[in-house]
Amino acid sequence: MENLGSLRGKNTDVIQHLMQKSREEQSAYMRNVESFQSSRRVLQSQAKEMLDALSLESFDRLIDKTRKEMTGAWTTAGLKRGMEASSRGRATPWTRSRTRPSRPAT
């Protein structure tokens, strides 16, 4: 009979331990879900930016702008500026940030 009583106490301890472990695992899982959702939102945003940059409408606007700049040029330097504007227009938001010159520390 005493053995049964001591087993009851052990069962309670084991159950409490398992509940605590389950809560910790649930908390870690929820943190991972939040991190995943955050990463998912960033990825969706970047995918939208990329698709917008690659759209036919965007490409047509870039060609029209480049054509206007180049047909209005009277010199080789003007043509060069028009071509450079075309290259800058093709840059995506994430490549633009990498190609910007860094500012010297003040």
CA dist., res. 90 & res. 63, Å (int):
10
Q: What is the mean pLDDT of the chain?
A: 79
What are the domain boundaries of the chain? 1-52, 54-100
pLDDT of 48 over the 90 cut: yes
CA 17 from chain centre, in angstroms, equals 39
Q: pLDDT tens-digit profile of 19-46?
A: 999 999 999 999 999 999 999 999 999 9
- Phi first, then psi: what are they for 104, rounded to 5°? -70, 145
pLDDT, residue 55, reads 87
For 78-94, b/e burial (b = at least 16 CB within 10 A) is eeeebeebbeeeeeeee
Alpha-carbon gap, residue 69 to 106, rounded angstroms: 37
Does position 91 have pLDDT exceeding 70, yes or no?
no
> Angle 56-71/76-90 helices, nearest 10 degrees?
170
The pair phi, psi for residue 101, each rounded to 5°, is -70, 140
